[in-house]
A = this chain, B = another copy of it.
């Protein structure tokens, strides 16, 4: 009996993610979204409920795909190989909406106001950090890095470096490839 929506919900979430990723929460108005998603206000709210609800979906999509990409990389190159390759991949991602991490941008923009989305971004950042820690643990178990390191500490430092790298990669006067190479080189000294 019912009528099917004319849009592809998954594709709309991906488009919204790209827009939010580039422009941030306050920087993306409903007019922007309506234009990009080709949705009138009524359809938008029928589909997603609110701007914040869609932002939450976009954050989740972003984090899920990030974790999936990293795990696929680890299956291909091994744990240390994945960790060493990730910085370069992030810098060279040519068709990404932005270089900087969407989770970090969201947290930086909204944490001062205790916005729910900041807490959500923080949760996803923790998930990513745990992912890094797992890879360091595996690398340790396989003897690729020394056993006298704390995987959690390595993961925190690695994530921090990656966040800095991705922020630097947005700037015109910084050679992010060099930084990525230096981060990877540091992993060889473990």
Which of A's residues lie within 8 Å of B, judged by CB?
A: 22-24, 26-27, 98, 100, 104-105, 107-113, 122, 125-126, 129, 153, 156-157, 159-165, 167-168, 170-175, 178-179, 182-183, 186, 189
Contact = CB atoms under 8 A, between A and B. Distances in A.
Given A108-B108, A179-B156, A125 B171 contact: yes
A148 to B, nearest CB: 14
Contact of A160 (B24, B157, B159, B165): B165
26 contacts: A22-B112, A24-B108, A24-B109, A27-B109, A27-B112, A27-B113, A105-B109, A107-B171, A108-B108, A108-B109, A129-B174, A153-B175, A156-B168, A156-B174, A157-B179, A159-B168, A160-B168, A160-B174, A160-B179, A161-B161, A161-B164, A162-B164, A163-B164, A163-B168, A164-B164, A164-B165
Nearest to A28: B112
A167 B163 contact: yes
Instruction: List the 6 closest pairs (A to B, CB-CB), nearest first.
Output: A164-B164, A26-B26, A160-B164, A160-B168, A163-B164, A22-B112
Interface SS of A by simple majority: helix
B170 A156 contact: no
A23 B107 CA distance: 11
Contacts of A100: 108
A35 to B, nearest CB: 15
